[in-house]
Structure 1
Amino acid sequence: MKIAYISWSGIPSRSANSIQVMKMCEAFTKNGHEVLLFVKKQSSLNSEPEDIYGLYGIEKKFDISYLPPLSFAGAGYLYSILALPALWKFKPDVIYCRLISGCLLGLFFNIPSIFESHSDIGQSGKVAAKLLSWLVNQKKPTRIVTISNALKESFVNNYQIPDKLVCVAHDGADDLEENQKSLSSFCFDSDVFRVGYIGQLYKGKGMEIISQLAPLCPWAQFHIIGGTEEDLKIWKEKTNELSNLIFYGFLPYSQTHQYRSSFDVLIAPYLKKVGIAGHQNGDVGKWMSPLKIFEYMSVSKPIITSDLPVLKEVLEDNKTALLCNPDDINNWVKALLRLRDDSSLREHLGSNARKEFLSKYTWKARANFVLSCLEVT
């Protein structure tokens, strides 16, 4: 099958959405499909030209078509129109979109389209919501993929989208260990108990909790990988007196696995309200499906994360993770102490999380599942 993937992501980028898009395209190719990806062209992350595929830790098995980085109201519609010449030449069998306007091209080519949504369609405006309602009522209706059951419920209940047209596909991660693609674990100099966090540092992602935890757990070392220069500056100033808090800054995605697999515990301390990249006053806490959760699960390490309904769609307390109240810092301290003092619990949680990951949450399995949504009648 030939799949045209129309994304609003900028490439290269430090954003989770760009990682998710690149990984899904790679997974489609691993399942035997031919893929053409459309993205916004962005400047290099470094001073030197980059190997885009290598930056994301993937093989070059699909082509990328770059479109202008438009940023005005309604730009998504022009963006999709600009994709037409390359689409006409490619002749796709299906159009897969992270941009609702891209699904209109399915009507133009008279082929099926799938819209993957990571947020409530109403956040994109009334026009987008009405467009989606129209697209699902066509002869070849657009299928919808949401990243959580909670988000599906919003589409069905708030926008009258037929239940049968909405599939739930939580996000995923690579099984690097099984494929022997990963780097060896990072070697630290001392035997201190290490707690790792990999991700962004904006509102609600967890630095609010980590900054409280560090002084209460002086016996642990907190390793923070990721964040923009601006966010790093803010948090370094707020925590400059904490010697057990180590910031690494941004590392290319292809390098993060060796750190992830080297920490004693992996932490994802979300608040109840979680900001969005570029829109930190937004909130995806109700329906998010964080990449880091699946990346953590893949490396057989114990996970501590927040006791939020959407995360309990994937994780089970005391079986695949320890779930803590984001409003009770003592709950997090007790969880870390339990893991520090109980190696069998660490092994139990890490092993169960990996088994769950392998059974449901690899990118390859996800890519196969989302295309099955086309079979729904």
Structure 2
Amino acid sequence: MMDKFETTLLYLSNERFPANLACTIQQIRMCEAFGRLGVAVQLVHPAYFDVPSYTEQEIRQFYGVEPLFSIKRLFSLLSLSKPLVDGRKRLKLPFIGGLSFLLSSYLFALRILRKCSASHQIIVYSRNVNGAYAFLQLVKWWFRHKKVKIIFEVHALEQQTPRSAFKRLLRDSDGLVVISKALFQALIERFPVNPQKILIAHDGVSARAFAFSELTKKDARDRLRLSSAPTVIYTGQLLPGKGAQLFVQASKLTAPQVQFILVGGHGQYLQRLREMIKKEKLTNILLPGFVPPADVPLYLAAADVLVLPPTADHEISQYTSPLKLFEYMASCRPIVAGDLPVLSEILQDHHNALFFQNGNANDLAQKIALLLADEPLSHRLASQAFQDVRDFTWESRAEKIYSFIQSIDQPLEVL
């Protein structure tokens, strides 16, 4: 891999692949986008013994991406530390799981750093504290003469790792990437981080998703075997803070002929929602469950209205950059979104979306009804969102981040 390219980018992850999680979609898409820049990209992630060992081809097919990067799986016992793949909790042994992967990360980093020539540039791009920390320590101890830049992408203020390691990465990484202005502000207020080494890069959408905007609602519904009724759709996870229950509540307050479809979720969260729908005797809501990421744009094309209802009572909603937001915008369908400050970094009320009062199911139902009744308004908002999202593709995000990395002339001194 390192013999054919001047630069190698190692994307370090802590996740199972494939998986029905937005974080894995984001990481896979970024690996593909970095690969388009002409660098050797390798996704490095831990092995989990509670899931099968999929081939690289199977993983790429699951996400619908091109073979522009390789995938490396490292030994770990993280299955003892994290919830099972279906979301069920189990007896956790975080020390054993975390330590095993930290050791594997050190061995992998040592092998890479010893092998690369002094002229070869290595970019360690990580959302994984263990992996980035291993590279950071080895560069400090033995490999200062190598051309290594360590970039840490931050999505939250808390990590499921020792706080000291997280703080060390914030301080000593060559650069930090954050997913929202809100997270940038919170980060520099809580930690002694140099703002000049932080890049704000919101998430994005695959350029291929734009093609689905040309698909008519009828064609999309026919392919999905959906009725011709007015259709309101939510896609994504059902975790606390995502607003799935609010979406269900709004379905009760809307005309019964309106069809609500909640796409995504699995395990206990999906089961709880099904029980809620059964208890409320709701007949106008469908739960197809998880669908492969490559199929999500088809559901978006079938919608009359798309809903983004994250609630403000979870930290994730304060700093988020939801993938579904950009997918919604690229579908050229009108969006109703909760009026969270972080969403206002991308959306503007009555400009490219309608905002509803956060957590208010009645207001959400009213805004849905307004868009269903006012076709000119729906068309204007959808068209504007479609234009605005062209600046937020994975490809443009990768170019922005890569330019930021290359602008770091000398790695920051590790103290």
How does the TM-score come out when normalised to structure 1? 0.89
CA distance in 2, matches of 1:33, 1:321: 37
Which of 15, 18, 23 in structure 2 is aligned with 1:12? 18
Displacement, 1:79? 4.0
Is 1:95 the counterpart of 2:138 in the alignment? no
Which of 227, 245, 249 in structure 1 is aligned with 2:285? 245
SS at match of 1:222: strand
Q: Is the 8 A contact 2:241 2:312 kept in 1?
A: yes
Is 1:259 the counterpart of 2:259 in the alignment? no
Displacement, 1:273? 2.3
Q: Is the 8 A contact 1:2 1:35 kept in 2?
A: yes
CA distance in 2, matches of 1:98, 1:61: 20
Q: Match of 1:367? A: 398
CA distance in 1, matches of 2:381, 2:353: 6
Displacement, 1:259? 1.1
Q: Match of 2:329? A: 297
CA distance in 2, matches of 1:86, 1:324: 53
Displacement, 1:219? 2.9
Task: State the AA in 2 paired with 1:84.
Answer: A
Q: Match of 2:271? A: 233
Displacement, 1:70? 3.2
Listed as ranges, the matches of 1:1-377 within 5 Å are: 1-42=7-48, 51-71=58-78, 72-73=94-95, 74-75=98-99, 77-84=102-109, 87-88=112-113, 89=115, 92-104=121-133, 105=135, 107=139, 108=143, 109-121=146-158, 124-136=161-173, 142-178=174-210, 185-187=220-222, 188-217=225-254, 218-240=256-278, 241-274=281-314, 283-358=315-390, 360-374=391-405, 375-376=407-408
Displacement, 1:84? 2.3
> Deviation string for 1:231-264 (max 9, x for gaps)?
1211111111100010001111111111111111
Distance 1:122 1:22, change over 3 A: closer
SS at match of 1:285: helix
How does the TM-score come out when normalised to structure 2? 0.81
SS at match of 1:80: helix
Equivalenced residue count is 363
> Deviation string for 1:16-48 (max 9, x for gaps)?
111111000000112222201101234697899
Q: Is the 8 A contact 2:213 2:330 kept in 1?
A: no
Task: State the AA in 1 paired with 2:35.
Answer: T
Distance 1:353 1:133, change over 3 A: closer
Q: Is the 8 A contact 1:307 1:324 kept in 2?
A: yes
Task: State the AA in 2 paired with 1:210.
Answer: F
CA distance in 2, matches of 1:318, 1:62: 40
More helix per residue: 1 or 2? 2
Q: Is the 8 A contact 1:211 1:239 kept in 2?
A: yes
Displacement, 1:229? 2.4
CA distance in 2, matches of 1:293, 1:329: 19
CA distance in 1, matches of 2:42, 2:226: 45
Task: State the AA in 1 paired with 2:384.
Answer: N
Q: Is the 8 A contact 2:122 2:147 kept in 1?
A: no
Q: Match of 1:279? A: none
Q: Match of 1:139? A: none
Gaps of 5+ in 1: 137-141, 275-282
CA distance in 2, matches of 1:302, 1:320: 8
CA distance in 1, matches of 2:385, 2:50: 35
Q: Is the 8 A contact 1:268 1:306 kept in 2?
A: yes
Q: Is the 8 A contact 1:129 1:159 kept in 2?
A: no
Task: State the AA in 1 paired with 2:61.
Answer: G
Q: Is the 8 A contact 1:12 1:44 kept in 2?
A: no
Task: State the AA in 2 paired with 1:263.
Answer: A
Q: Is the 8 A contact 1:3 1:35 kept in 2?
A: yes
Report % sequence identity: 30
Moved more, 242-251 or 182-191: 182-191
CA distance in 2, matches of 1:129, 1:84: 18
Q: Is the 8 A contact 1:150 1:310 kept in 2?
A: yes
CA distance in 1, matches of 2:214, 2:294: 9
SS at match of 1:51: helix
Q: Which of structures 1 and 2 has the bigger CA Rg?
A: 2
